[in-house]
Amino acid sequence: MDPTKSSLLLTPFVTKTEGIGGEIKQEAEDFVVGEIIEDDYILNPRMNDFELPGRKGMFLHFVLVKQDIDTSNALDWIAKLWNVPRNYISIAGSKDKKALTGQRVSIWGINKKFEEGKIEEINLPKIKTKSLCLKLSEIRLGNLKGNFFDIIIRDIPFSPEEAKKRIESCIQEIEKKGGILNSFGSQRFGNIRPITHLVGKEIIKGNLREALRIYVGQVFEEELDETKTARELYWETEDPKKTLNLLPKHLKIERKILHSLDKRKNDYRQALGSLPLQFQKLFIHAYQSFLFNRYLTIRFANYNKSLEEAIEGEKQEGKVVYAPLIGGKTQLNKQTKEIYEQIFEEQGINLNNFQQPLTIKMGGKGTLRSIGFLPQKTSLLEVSHDKNNKMKTKARISFQIQKGSYATVLLREFMKNE
């Protein structure tokens, strides 16, 4: 059983409508994302000016519009250009790299520089800061209502008429079922190297050496040859110095781990701790996400296919059903316990693994997560011939989804490429 295969990482399709195939993100502008904030105001990255809510205060607020760059790198550039400590910058959540995105950002400690006119808007090809203003509150993780998407699916191997029929049928089916499974998308585990959850698993088991060996050394075919050579060397020898000599400079996280291991031989706890805490948390969160996706898969196959009816041990509020996202504070009972115990047996772990101090520190407390989500304001905007791909079709779809849910999970239902 290969734990990096999408069939194990992702959940089954809820809809039976035949898929349209195709491909997303052929161009960054094909994947437009904007945060939905107070009063359902959308930070559409195609806009030039924004009316940001809130009373005046000492935090600098602005809208970050970025394209073809990940959120962390964009914020690093802003910190450098404005000469502000990186940890003074906060956001509600990260956005896709290969996309055109709009999101709210706050910065502490530069209100005087802003009022003195020493902070100017950034206007670079990949990074723009818009509508700078001072507000009372800091933007914290989760400070948004949801996200708006405007997406083009290209390279569809059907006529515009057939593609339109299938998409409309799928939209109707989703609405009739009350939504789709609220699973975590493939990007949660890594697109090129889907191993983030495997690292997390070894961390919660206390196998830090193996966790770092997987992160640094596991090879995937899609990588560059020089990267594969360096990873293979570490996988076989676990020699940090020799691996550093071969590893490309842009792999900063791997190099940080190796430098730590070279300096303090076999101190795997120190090497892991050398990474930013938010990055460490990604590993634990990815494994929690993997377990939740497995939970949804088993529940859907063997217990109840309804997204609006709780099984024993789940929590129901109106039509919304919540299931445990496993962690150190989680209490399981009845049918939810049955499902998770089956998963624990598959994985060779138990709930005690999540109750270790390191796991708790890295964000493994656990919570509840809705088992389904219903996209809002779904609209098929255009279906036409795709000029970028000869004899193929493109479809443009817009929709809104709740925070924490994945657009790619909804797009899978339309495309059904697996």
Establish whether 2 is a catalytic residue. Answer: no
DSSP 28: G
Report how far apart, in Å, the C-alpha atoms of 51 and of each of 93, 129, 145, 264 are: 20, 14, 16, 51
* Positive or negative torsion for Cα 248, 249, 252, 256: positive
Task: Give 271's contacts (C-beta < 8 A, 6+ positions apart).
Answer: 208, 212, 257, 260, 261, 264
What is the rounded CA–CA span in Å between residue 168 and residue 149? 17
Q: What is the 3-state secondary structure (H, E, C) of 268-318?
A: HHHHHHCCCHHHHHHHHHHHHHHHHHHHHHHHHHHCCCCCCCCCCCCEEEC
CA-closest candidate to residue 281, choices 345, 175, 188: 188
The pairs formed by 276-281 with CB atoms below 8 angstroms and a separation of 24 or more are 277/362, 279/253, 280/362, 281/362, 281/363
What is the rounded CA–CA span in Å between residue 406 and residue 99? 14
Cβ atoms of 414 and 401 within 8 Å: the answer is no
Q: Which of 39, 49, 96, 262 is catalytic?
A: 96
> Which are the catalytic amino acids?
96
